[in-house]
Structure 1
Amino acid sequence: MPEPVNFMEMAAREKQKTSSTGRTRFQIKGGERETLIYLVGTSDTKAEEIIYLSNLLARPGVEVCSVDVGTRGLGCKMDVPPAVVAGHHPDGADAVLGSDDRGKSVAAMAGAFAAFCGTHATQIDAIIGVGGGGGTSIISQGMRELPYGVPKVMVSTLASGDVSAFIDTSDIIMMPSVTDIAGLNRISRHILHNAAQSVLGMATHPYVAQNDMKPSVGLSMFGVTTPCVTQISASLEDQFDCVVFHATGTGGRSMEKLLGEGMLGGLIDMTTTEIADEIVGGVLSAGAARLDAVITSGKPYVGSVGALDMVNFWAPDTAPDAFKDRLFYHHNANVTLMRTTAEECARIGTWIADKLNRAAGQVVMLLPEKGISALDIDDGPFWDPDAQAALFGAIEQNLRATDTHQIRRLPFHINDPAFSAAAAEAYLSIS
Structure 2
Amino acid sequence: MATIAVLGTLDSKGTEHGFVADLIRQRGHAPLLIDVGTLGPTQIPADISRDEVATAGGIDLPPTLSRQDRGECVAAMADAAAALLLKLSDQGRIQGVISLGGSGGTAIGTATMRALPIGFPKVMVSTMASGNIAHYVGTKDIVMIPSVVDVSGLNRVSRIIFSRAVGAICGMVETEIASSSADRPLIVASMFGNTTDCINAAIPVLEEAGYEVLVFHATGAGGKAMEALIESGMVAGVLDITTTEWADELVGGVLSAGPQRLEAAGKAGVPAIVVPGCLDMVNFGGPETIPDKFAQRNFYIHNPQVTLMRTSPQECRELGRLLAGKINQYSAPVSVLIPQKAISVISAAGGPFHDAEADEALFSTLADSLRDGIEVRWEDREINDPSFAKLCARTLMENIRVDADSK
Q: TM-score, normalised by structure 1?
A: 0.81
Residue number in structure 2 paired with 1:119: 87
CA drift at 1:92: 3.3
Rounded Cα–Cα distance in structure 1 between residues aligned with 2:305 and 2:132: 15
CA distance in 2, matches of 1:187, 1:372: 55
CA contact (8 A) 1:276 1:308 kept: yes
1:327–1:266: structure 2 CA closer, same or farther, 3 Å change rule?
same
Equivalent position of 1:286 in the other structure: 257
Per the alignment, residue 92 of structure 1 pairs with 60
Aligned to 2:50: 82
For 1:319 and 1:211, the matched residues in 2 are separated by 51
For residue 28 of structure 2, the aligned residue among 58, 61, 82 is 61
Query: Cα 1:157–1:329, aligned 2, differ >3 Å: closer, same or farther?
Result: farther
Structure 2 vs 1, CA of residues 221 and 424 (structure 1 numbering), >3 Å: closer, same or farther? same
Aligned residue for 2:375, secondary structure, equals: strand
Specify whether residues 314 and 160 from structure 1 end up closer, same or farther in structure 2 by C-alpha distance, changes over 3 A only.
farther
Query: Which runs of structure 2 are paired with 1:194-209 in the superposition (5 Å)?
Result: 194-209=164-179
Provide, for residues 342-376 of structure 1, a one-character-per-residue CA deviation record: whole Å limited to 9, x for no partner. 22122212322344345433332222234222443
Query: Gaps spanning 5+ residues in structure 2: where?
Result: 401-407
- Amino acid of the residue matched to residue 4 of structure 2? I
Equivalence map 1:182-221=2 (5 Å): 182-210=152-180, 214-221=184-191
Matches within 5 A, 1:104-253: 104-121=72-89, 122-210=92-180, 214-238=184-208, 239-253=210-224
CA distance in 2, matches of 1:72, 1:297: 39
Q: Distance in 2 between matches of 1:174 and 1:328?
A: 39
Residues 299-326 of structure 1 show CA distances to partners (whole Å, capped at 9, x for unaligned) of 4221111121112234544433322333
User: Tell me, which stretches of 5 or more residues in structure 1 are unaligned?
Assistant: 1-33
Secondary structure in 2 aligned to 1:367?
strand
* Aligned residue number for residue 367 of structure 1: 338
Distance in structure 1 (CA, Å) of the matches to 2:283 and 2:157: 39
Aligned position for 2:395: 426
Residue by residue, what CA displacement relative to the aligned partner does 1:137-179 show, whole Å, maximum 9, x if unpaired?
A: 1111221222221011112222233333322333222233333
Offset, 1:340: 1.3
For 1:316 and 1:45, the matched residues in 2 are separated by 48
- Most deviating of 257-266 and 71-80: 257-266
CA contact (8 A) 2:14 2:44 kept: no
Equivalence for 2:403: none
In the alignment, the residues of structure 1 paired with residue 303 and residue 144 of structure 2 have an alpha-carbon distance, to the nearest angstrom, of: 26
**Per the alignment, in what secondary structure is the counterpart of residue 287 of structure 1?**
coil
Specify the alignment match of 2:405 in structure 1. none
Task: Please report how far the alpha carbon of residue 217 of structure 1 lies from its aligned counterpart in structure 2 after TM superposition.
Answer: 2.5
What is the SS of the residue equivalent to 1:39? strand
Q: Deviations over 1:26-70 (max 9, x none)?
A: xxxxxxxx1111222223333453244334434343222222222
User: In structure 2, the residue corresponding to 1:44 is in which secondary structure?
Assistant: coil
Which of 1 and 2 has higher RCO (CA within 8 Å, sep 6+)? 2
Is 1:73 the equivalent of 2:40?
Answer: yes
The answer for the alignment partner of 2:365 in structure 1 is 394
1:129, distance to aligned residue in structure 2 (A) = 1.1
Tell me which amino acid in the other structure corresponds to 2:190: S
Tell whether the 8 Å contact from 2:78 to 2:107 is kept in structure 1 after alignment: yes
- State whether structure 2 residue 11 is matched by structure 1 residue 44: yes
| Aligned residue number for residue 375 of structure 2 | 406
Local SS of the residue matching 1:266 = strand
CA–CA distance in structure 2, aligned partners of residues 374 and 58 of structure 1: 58
Contact 1:96 1:109 (C-alpha < 8 Å) held by counterparts: no
* Equivalent AA in structure 2 for residue 105 of structure 1: C
Residue 250 (structure 1) shift: 4.2
Cα displacement (A) at 1:91: 3.1
Counterpart CA distance in 1 for 2:345 and 2:156 is 51
- 1:116 deviation in Å? 1.9
Q: Is the CA contact (8 Å cut-off) linking 2:18 and 2:44 kept in structure 1?
A: no
Q: Structure 1: which amino acid aligns with 2:141?
A: D
CA distance in 2, matches of 1:151, 1:209: 17
* Residue 320 of structure 1 pairs with residue 291 of structure 2: yes
- Three-state SS of the structure 2 residue aligned to 1:285 is coil
- 1:95 and 1:108 in contact (8 A); partners too: no
Supply the distance in 1 between the matched residues of 2:156 and 2:308 (Cα, whole angstroms): 45
Deviations 1:77-113 (A, max 9, x none): 1433433323434133324444433222222222221
Q: How does 1:8-27 map to 2 (within 5 A)?
A: none
Q: 1:267: how far off?
A: 1.5
Cα gap change, 1:300/1:115 in structure 2, threshold over 3 Å: closer, same or farther? closer
Q: Which moved more, 1:181-190 or 1:128-137?
A: 181-190
Code of the residue aligned with 1:39 in structure 2: it is V
User: Does 1:349 pair with 2:316?
Assistant: no
Aligned length: 396
8 Å CA contact 2:298–2:310 kept in 1: the answer is yes
* CA RMSD in angstroms, aligned pairs only: 2.9
TM-score norm. by structure 2 comes to 0.85
CA contact (8 A) 2:97 2:122 kept: yes
Change beyond 3 A, Cα 1:176–1:334: farther
Verify the 8 A CA contact 2:59 2:80 in the aligned structure 1: no
Q: Which moved more, 1:108-117 or 1:160-169?
A: 160-169
